[in-house]
Structure 1
Amino acid sequence: MTGPPPILAVGAAAIDEWYAVSNLPEPDGGAFASEVTTAFGGVGANVSVALDRLGREVGLVTRVGDDEYGRRAREYLADTGVDAAHVSVADDASTRSLILSDPAGERAIVTAGESFRNLRLDEADREALAATEAVFVTGYAPDAVSRAVLDVAASAADPPALVFDLSGSVEELVGRGTEPETIHRFLHAADLFVADNVAAAAYFGGAEAARERVAAAQRAQDGDRSALTGDGWPRAVLTHGAEGMTVVAGGAVTEFDAFDVEVVDATGAGDSFVAGLIDRWVAGRGAGSGSGDSGAGSSDEGDDAGSSDEGDDADSSDDGVAAGVRFAAAVAAINCTSRFAQPGVPSREEAEAFLAERGR
C-alpha cells in the first residue's frame, strides 16, 4: 500500500478489564464479580476491527503506553488486518477501561491512563488524514486532535468524508475529550454525526431538541461542502439502545427499530453500529471516488414500505438510508450476543445472513 488506507479511525486502543458482576452497584452499594478477565477494546480499535471484519481496509491513529497494557494492545491489533502505521508509543500509562457487566448485559465503564488523552497529530498523521477517503473521530479524542482533524479536512484539496461519534455526557469529556465548541463544528462539518441517548441529553437537552438541532444544522449547510453526493446528505443518527435509532438525513427525520436479540454483553455495540454505517454509507464514497465500491453487494432490502434491491449506488435515496441503517443495526445486534467488545463482531456474510433470516 503506497498511501494510507481508505478509512482512518482516530480513537483509543485499550485493554478492557472485564468484571461479570451480579448487579451494577448503586452509590454506596456493592456487587460480586463471578469472573474477571481482559479483552481488547477502545472506541477507535473497536470501530477499526469491526470495519476490518467487514472486509474494509482501515487504519488506526492512536497512542499507547510503553507498558504491559500497551504491549498487549499492540499484540491484539497485530492479529487483525488493521493498519497500525500511525500507532505511536509513549512513556505515559496506557489507556485502559474497567467494565462492569451485569447478567442482563448492561454495563458501567471507568477509564484510566493518559496515553490516548495525550495524543497529538504529527506531520505524518496529518498527511495521511488529508490523503484518505474517510476519517472517523470519537468524541473521546483530545480536543486538540479533533480540531486538527477538522482543520486538515478543511484545507485538503480532496477532503475526506468526516464521521464523528459523540458518546457520553459533555461533562465526562471536559478536560480529556472533544469540547462543546469543537462538537458544534463537527455538527456543521461532519458528513455523518452519531450521538447516543446520554450524549443527546447532555449536549442538546434531550432527544427532541437533538432532532431539531441536527436537522437545522443540515438544512443550513450549503450542499457543496460534503464529499458525498446526492440527496439525503449530510446524515446523523441518534441511537437509543434497544429502543432503536433516529436518522436525520438532509434535514428529514425517520425512526427505525432495533433488532430483538438475546443480549449477552452490550459493550462495543455502539462502535460496531457506527462501523456498519461507515461501511454502507461512507466507505468508498469519499471525495474523488464517485459512487464507490459498496463491498456489500446490491441486494439489501429497504424498509417495510420501501422498494427492494437498493445498493450503494442508490444510497442517497430513502431506501438507501434504510438499507444502511438496517445493516448497521444487524452488525450491532449480532455483536451483543457475545461477550466483550470485539469477538462478536460479524463478518459481512454473517450480517447479511442475519438480515435475510428476518426478511431484510
Structure 2
Amino acid sequence: MTGPPPVLAVGAAAIDEWYAVSNLPEPDGGAFAREVTTAFGGVGANVCVALDRLGREVGLVSRVGDDEYGRRAREYLADTGVDASRVSVGEDPSTRSVILSDPAGERAIVTAGESFRRLRLDAADREALAATEAVFLTGYTPDSVSRAVLDAVESAADPPALAFDLSGPVEELVGRGTEPETIYRLLRAANLFVAGDVAAAAYFGGPDAAVDRIAAAQRARGDPDRSSLGGDGWPRAVLTHGADGMTVVADGNVSEYDAFHVDRVDATGAGDAFVAGLIDRWFADGGRVGVADGVRFAAAVAAINCTSRFAQRGLPTRDEVEAFLAERGR
C-alpha cells in the first residue's frame, strides 16, 4: 500500500474485562458476576473492525502499552484486515475497560490505563490523515491530538471527510479527552457529528436543545445575518437514543428513525458499529447514499452486533447486513 487506507480512525485499541452481572449496581449497592471474561474493544478499534468486516480498507491511529494487554491488542489486530502500522507502543499501562453487563444487555463502563491518553501524532501520522479520504475521531481522544487532527484535515489540499463521535458527556471528557472548545471547532469542521442522549444533553443542555441548535446552525449557512447561530460549517448530525431509535438533522431538516428490534444480548459497542455503518454509507464510494438508506444500514449493523456478546464478536459482514435488511423489507 503506497498511501494510507481510505479510512483512518483515531481511537483506543483496548482489552475489555467483561463482567456478566446480576444487575447494574446503584450507589452503595452491589451485584454478582456470574461470568468474568476478556474481549477486544476500544472505540477506535471497534469502528475499524466494523468497517473491515464490511469490506472496507481502514487503518487505526492509536497507542498501547508495552505490556500483556498491549501485546494481545496488537496480535488481535494483526489477525484482522485493519492496518495497525500507526499503532505505537509506549511504557504507560495499556488502556483497558471494565464492562458491567446485566441480563437485559445494559452496561456500565469504567476505563483505566494511560497509553491512549499519551498518544501524540508524529509528522507521518499527520501526513496520512491529510492524505486519506475519511477520518473518524472520538471524543475520548486527548485534546491535543484532536486539535492536531483538525489542523491536518483543515490544511489538506483535498480535505478528507471528518466524522466525530462525542462519545461521552463533557464532564467525563474534561481532562481526559476532547475539551469543549475543541468540540466546538469539530462541530464546524466535521461532515458528520454523532452523539448519544447523555453526551448531547451534557454539551447542548438537553436532547431537544441539541436538535434545535444544530438545525438552526445548518439553516444559517450562507446567511451572514444569522452567523451567530453557527455560520457555514455545522455538519449533518445523528443523535442516538439506543433502542428508541435516532434523530437525524441534515440541511436544517429533522427526521426520526426507529431502531431495529432484535433479541439483544449485549449493547456494548453498538454505537461504534452504528458510526461505522454511517461512514461506510455516507463517506465511502463518494457518499452517494441518501440519509434514510444510510441510517437504516447503520442501524442494521448496530442491531446485528447486539445479538452477540462483546463489542466486536457480532460485527456483521456486508452480506449479513443486506440479508438482515431484506428480511425486513428494506
Instruction: Give the TM-score, by structure 2 length.
Output: 0.95
Corresponding position: 1:88 with 2:88: yes
Q: Secondary structure at the match of 1:354?
A: helix
Alignment partner for residue 291 of structure 2, among 309, 321, 341? 321
Q: Distance in 2 between matches of 1:238 and 1:49?
A: 22
Partner of 1:251: 252
Corresponding position: 1:268 with 2:254: no
Partner of 2:284: 283
Q: Distance in 1 between matches of 2:222 and 2:121?
A: 29
Q: Distance in 2 between matches of 1:109 and 1:156?
A: 36
Q: Distance in 1 between matches of 2:216 and 2:186?
A: 14
Partner of 1:59: 59
**Equivalent residues of 1:139, 1:165 under 8 A apart:** yes
Partner of 2:206: 206
Aligned positions of 1:70-85 closer than 5 A:
70-85=70-85
Partner of 1:309: none
**Equivalent residues of 1:188, 1:218 under 8 A apart:** no
| Structure 1 stretches of at least 4 aligned residues deviating more than 6 Å after TM superposition | none
Q: One-letter code of the match for 1:255?
A: E
**Equivalent residues of 2:187, 2:235 under 8 A apart:** no
Partner of 2:218: 218
Q: One-letter code of the match for 1:337?
A: T
Aligned positions of 1:21-40 closer than 5 A:
21-40=21-40
Q: Secondary structure at the match of 1:77?
A: helix
The alignment yields a C-alpha RMSD, in angstroms, of: 1.2
Q: One-letter code of the match for 2:292?
A: A
Aligned positions of 1:333-352 closer than 5 A:
333-352=303-322
Q: Distance in 1 between matches of 2:127 and 2:152?
A: 8
* Cα deviation digits, residues 267-318 of structure 1 (max 9, x gap): 0000000000000001132xxxxx6xxxxxxxxxxxxxxxxxxxx3xx3xxx
* Cα deviation digits, residues 54-88 of structure 1 (max 9, x gap): 00000000000000010011011111000011100
Q: Distance in 1 between matches of 2:147 and 2:101?
A: 34
Q: Secondary structure at the match of 1:283?
A: helix
Corresponding position: 1:172 with 2:142: no
Q: Distance in 1 between matches of 2:235 and 2:139?
A: 18
Q: One-letter code of the match for 1:333?
A: A
* Cα deviation digits, residues 131-179 of structure 1 (max 9, x gap): 0000000000000011111111111101010000011111100111000
Q: One-letter code of the match for 1:60?
A: L
Once the two structures are TM-superposed, the CA of residue 220 in structure 1 deviates from its matched residue by 3.5
Moved more, 209-218 or 350-359: 209-218
**Equivalent residues of 2:51, 2:58 under 8 A apart:** yes
Q: Distance in 1 between matches of 2:49 and 2:87?
A: 14
Q: How many residues align?
A: 320
**Equivalent residues of 2:188, 2:235 under 8 A apart:** no
Partner of 1:305: none
Partner of 1:239: 240
Q: Distance in 1 between matches of 2:140 and 2:72?
A: 21
Q: Distance in 1 between matches of 2:19 and 2:8?
A: 31
Q: One-letter code of the match for 2:284?
A: A
* Cα deviation digits, residues 13-50 of structure 1 (max 9, x gap): 00000000000001111110010000000000000000
Q: Distance in 1 between matches of 2:105 and 2:42?
A: 18
Corresponding position: 1:18 with 2:15: no
Once the two structures are TM-superposed, the CA of residue 215 in structure 1 deviates from its matched residue by 1.5
**Equivalent residues of 2:66, 2:94 under 8 A apart:** yes
Q: Secondary structure at the match of 2:87?
A: strand
Gapped runs of 5+ residues in structure 1?
224-232, 286-290, 292-311
Partner of 2:117: 117
Instruction: Give the TM-score, by structure 1 length.
Output: 0.87
Q: Secondary structure at the match of 1:60?
A: strand
Q: Secondary structure at the match of 2:89?
A: strand
**Equivalent residues of 1:17, 1:38 under 8 A apart:** yes
Gapped runs of 5+ residues in structure 2?
224-233
Q: Distance in 1 between matches of 2:128 and 2:195?
A: 26
Q: One-letter code of the match for 1:334?
A: I
Q: Secondary structure at the match of 1:284?
A: helix
